[in-house]
Amino acid sequence: MMDKSAVDLKKILPYGDIKGDGVVQLAFTLPVPVSPEAREAAIQVCKKMGLEEIKVATMEKAATRFSFFVVYGKTKHPIDFTQIKVLKIDSPVLSRVEIDALVKETFGRKLIILGACTGYDAHTVGIDAIFNMKGFAGDYGLERYEWFDAKNLGAQVLNEDLLKLAVEQNADAILVSKVVTQHNIHVKDLKELMEKAERMGIRNKIIFIAGGPRVTHPLAIECGFDAGFGIGTKPSEVASYIVHELLKKKA
Amino acid sequence: MAHLELNQQTIIECRRLAAQIVLKIKPVIDLHTTVGIERAALRLIGVSGALHKEGLRYPFSNSIVDQLREDRVLSKGALFWFVNALTQTGLSVSELSQKTSTGELRLSQLEKTPVAELKKYAYDLCKESLKKLAMRREERWALRKTQGDPFDLSFSSRPLVYVIVATGNIYDDVIQAQAAVEAGADAIAVIRSTAQSLLDYVPEGATTEGFGGTYATQENFKIMRDALDKEGKKAGRYIRLTNYSSGLCMAEIAALAAMERLDFLLNDAMYGILFRDINMKRTLIDQNFSRMIIAYSDIIIHTGEDNYLTTADAIENGHQVLASQFINERFALEAHMKEEQMGLGHAAEMNPWHNNVFLLEIARAQMTRDIFQKSPIKFMPPTRHKVGDIFFSHVMDAMFNLVGVLTNQGIQLLGMPTEAMHTPLLQDRFVSIKSAHYIFNAAKDLGKEISFKKDGMITMWASKVLEDTLQLLRKIEHSGLFKAIEDRCFANVSRKLDGGKGLDGVVQKDKEYLNPFFELL
């Protein structure tokens, strides 16, 4: 008997009801009133996206001049999963106790870690979750690590002030949190920090880490950082990365 | 309506302690003014407009107060000097603003009008200015009558449907707001551009570029007010407009909002201290004057206790929220506000995977409703535990809406399925409003049909939060509010008495200090 669950990794498609059906769901508005023409326009938008067998599940009046759609369609463009390569963080995640022991043994001094929400960003929920004693999701924050000297500088710290402080305090790692992303302000601020670090000649002396709900590892790399952590990251994941990177540098 | 059986003696004691806490701060408030208050007073008598300075439009009210500070005479009050100059020069308010701002005139160097005459002139001028605010207030009452008012201050019908717009561009905000009203929104908040709270001046004119929100300016207020009045007329219900009276321009924004007939203002006695690192004295002095204007203009404030739950654990910190609500209530009463104007804030921010979390949210919401019976409680949606699964997020919001209607909250800020991703898209608001109306209607009278078991989990939880609140208020009363904030009594944040931004804008009042608004408001 043929194994129905076998997936051809060289040709994967979205999976809805049966293998390879390519079903996707979309929701969007069009800036025109609800009408048969609006429905047709929605179908054509989806066709131009490369979808087939398009079904408009609902068309609703979101407002006089706006129609809202939920649409299903099928894509016929398979992806070769075996060829996919992504930048990702591959350091193993250790516990707080293990990390403290490792730092004590290999460095014999406290690692100095600075964190901040930079620019105009006032949303400290992310940086607080990583730094505060209490931590996040049952995982203690960096301030709780015995062999870390972790300082959370809070919100709206200017890039130059952060770098100046990092030099003064001989920081091993800098964590930058960006929450506001309108007009890509987060990317702009992150890049500016790295350009300044480069000019000050400290780019390679410190580990630079970015974090935030819309931050990914590849985005952070693109901005010149060493690593990026997204939503749901636990403090021990960040701590493990820092220690492993410093060990690599030491070696 | 179902009510919780709470210990009334404990509630009375909490209020007594809050009154004591605020009483100890009163001398600081009474003996000082701030650059923000002085600018607000100037705005109230009609100073408006700005100079072009280093690429931005710097308001006349700032230039005038800056000049008085440079000349070290601000302790007598901006109105002392400005009104003196009016009597001496015979110029109009607008001419004098212009001439002072450009430096053509130095207010402190003019001849002095005899004090009695000066005072009389100032009082008359201020009384005249307040007539304009009163007109705006009465205009609002009239509009609510003719357009119809969805807001029920007996809280026996559904909560008010409240959403935000935050495009950064006031003209896009208008389009989004109009669509939201058509979808069924009753109140619109224009979210402010990130970090405006730390600007020590109010930007001028219509603005089209903000980050995470749109600048609060008098012109933007006017544009949105006009748009909502038109939508309200079409929709057959008065649409309320919200902005922020917080940050370094707390008092000034209150004045501008009163002039432009805003209905709701985010205004909290301690928010700026805790979450924007604004100096304690500055904030507490500013909030008092801002609330006097708010009281007079019949604006409803929204306090910011919901923020305690986004930064600290929501299950463990219920008592901090309640303690802060008692303190906010007391500060507001001191500024002559009525309980009906106090939209005390809280939020449904508990971990959705916690056992019986729905019951705990009901307990806290009902407790807030029952303790502040005349106040339109402002209930904020889940944000902290949202991660981008918009479908699950929508379910969380549905549960939140059910708590809101069941416990008769006053003002329900709707959650958005795309919370934690981006500022709301038009369709996000549409699906939120649609489902909120469904739930508010489907469970409309649920609160009247049920009762809470005396020894049940919900009553016990609320009683525990209330008891913890009493302990916390005792501790704060003992140490004093300043020290309590330093000791992380709220949101686990510590601030120092002489730390934070804006302390240099606090000025001790001189014996001759003149600002008739303190008596007239």
In a shared domain, residues A136 and A194? yes
Q: Is B311 in contact with A214 (Cβ distance < 8 A)?
A: no
pLDDT band at A81 (very low <50, low <70, confident <90, very high): very high
CB contact under 8 A, A183 and B168: yes
Q: What is the ipTM of this complex?
A: 0.89
In a domain, A90, yes or no: no
Least confident of A117-126, B10-19, B215-224, B448-457: A117-126
pTM score over 0.80: yes
Q: What is the CA A94 to chain-centroid distance, rounded?
A: 21
Residue of B nearest to A63 (CA): B179
Contacts of B30 (CB under 8 A, 6+ apart): none
A43 and A143 share one domain: no
Q: What is the torsion angle, in degrees rounded to the nearest 10, for the CA atoms of residue B34, residue B39, residue B44 and residue B46? A: 160
The pairing of beta strand B240-244 with beta strand B264-266:
parallel
Question: Do both A101 and A80 map to the same domain?
Answer: no
Q: Within an 8 Å CB–CB cutoff, is residue A231 touching chain B? A: yes
Say how many C-beta atoms besides its own lie within 10 A of residue B520's C-beta. 14
Determine, yes or no, domain membership for A91.
no
Domain end (from A85, A117, A138): A85
Domain finish residue from A30, A64, A85: A85
Using a CB–CB cutoff of 8 Å, tell me whether A182 touches chain B. yes
Reported as a single tens digit per residue, the pLDDT across B286-298 is: 999 999 999 999 9
Q: Do A213 and B179 touch (CB under 8 A)?
A: no
A187 within a domain of the structure (yes/no): yes
A28 touches chain B (CB under 8 A): yes
Residue of B nearest to A156 (CA): B195
Determine, for residues A27 and B427 on separate chains, whether the beta-carbon distance falls below 8 Å. yes
pLDDT higher than threshold 90 for residue A138? no
Residues of A in contact with B272 (CB under 8 A): none
Contacts of A34 (CB under 8 A, 6+ apart): A59, A60, A61, A67
A159 and A192 both lie in a single domain: yes
Interface test with A, best of B172, B194, B353 (most A CBs within 10 A): B194
Alpha helices (H) along B74-114: 78-89, 93-101
Choosing from A31, A50, A85, the residue where a domain stops is A85
- DSSP annotation string for B3-25: -----HHHHHHHHHHHHHHHHHH
pLDDT of residue B387: 79
**A122 and B182: CB-CB below 8 Å?**
no
Tally of domains in chain A: 2
The per-residue b/e assignment along B105-120, b for 16 or more CB within 10 angstroms, e otherwise, is: bebbeeeebeeeebbe
Residue A80 CB coordination number (10 Å): 11
Which residue, among B348, B217, B331, B350, has the nearest Cα to B267 in the 3D structure?
B331
Please indicate whether, in this complex, the C-beta atoms of A120 and B195 are within 8 angstroms of each other: yes
Residues of B within 8 A of A57 (CB-CB) are none
Q: Which CATH number fits the domain that encloses residue A184? A: 3.40.50.280
Determine how β-strand B56-59 pairs with β-strand B50-53.
Answer: antiparallel
Residue pair B282/B34 in contact (Cβ under 8 Å)? The answer is: yes
For residue range B172-231, what is the model confidence (pLDDT) as tens digits?
Answer: 999 999 999 999 999 999 999 877 888 999 999 999 988 778 999 999 999 999 999 999
Say yes or no: A149 and A63 in one domain.
no
- Residues A130 and A53 placed together within one structural domain of the fold: no
Amino acid letter, residue B257 = A
Contacts of A154 in chain B (CB under 8 A): 277
Structure tokens at A182: 């309108």
For B151: left if phi > 0, alpha if psi spans -120 to 50, otherwise beta; the answer is beta
Cβ distance of B182 and A181 shorter than 8 Å: no
CATH of the domain at A59: 3.30.30.60
Q: Could you tell me where the DSSP H helices lie in A56-184?
A: 96-106, 125-131, 159-168
Where in the sequence is the domain holding A7, given as residue range(s)? 1-85
Residue B311: which pLDDT band, with cuts at 50, 70 and 90?
Answer: low
Mean pLDDT of chain B: 95
Q: What pLDDT digit, counting tens, does each position of A142-167 carry?
A: 998 999 999 998 888 899 999 999 99
How many A/B residue pairs have CB atoms within 8 Å? 74
Q: Provide mean pLDDT across the span B96-110.
A: 96
Do A166 and A199 sit in the same domain of this protein? Answer: yes
Alpha-carbon distance A21 to A13, whole Å?
7
Considering only CB atoms, which residues of chain B are within 8 Å of chain A?
Answer: 168, 178-180, 182-183, 194-195, 197-198, 209-212, 275-277, 310-311, 313, 384, 387-388, 420-423, 425-427, 430-431, 492
List the catalytic residue out of B76, B281, B378, B386.
B378
